[in-house]
Amino acid sequence: MTIQEAQYLIDDWIKKYGVRYFNELTNMAILTEEVGELSRLIARRYGEQSFKEKITEEEINHKLSDEMADIIFVLFCLANQMDINLESAIKNNIEKKTMRDKTRHIDNEKLK
């Protein structure tokens, strides 16, 4: 599935099941909430915090992928609302980074 196809799929879902898009400010708050949920999982899997209950690696992986998908869903909702083609935006962003950072990371002694 392309990014553009995913944007259309989400738009169709919203129109069929979501009645309408939440306003942009509400979606921004929801996006922040979803990023927080992913952060909590990463802090417990890779950081010093522990999970409150026993959880398998398979369950953690499922939760991580689900939270990442939630983030993408809300981000795509915002893009749809703002009439932003994310596929084009990503291509343009990579071109910008390539021009700006062509040798920045290669020359970074900290990364060697």
Q: Compute the average pLDDT of residues 77-89.
A: 98
Tally the domains of the chain: 1
pLDDT of residue 109: 95
Read off the pLDDT band of 91 (50, 70, 90).
Answer: very high
Backbone angle region of 67, left / alpha / beta, with phi > 0 → left and psi within -120 to 50 → alpha = alpha
pLDDT attached to residue 103 = 94
pTM: 0.91
Q: Does a structural domain hold residue 10?
A: yes
Residue 28 amino acid letter:
M
Q: Mean pLDDT of all residues in the chain?
A: 97
Q: How many CB atoms neighbour CB 7 within 10 A?
A: 19
- Please report, for residues 97, 99, 104, 106, the alpha-carbon distance to residue 112 in angstroms, rounded to integers and kept in the order given: 20, 21, 12, 8
**CATH code for position 25:** 1.10.287.1080
For residue 38, give its domain range: 3-84
| pLDDT, tens digit, 9 for 90 and up, residues 31-52 | 999 999 999 999 999 999 999 9
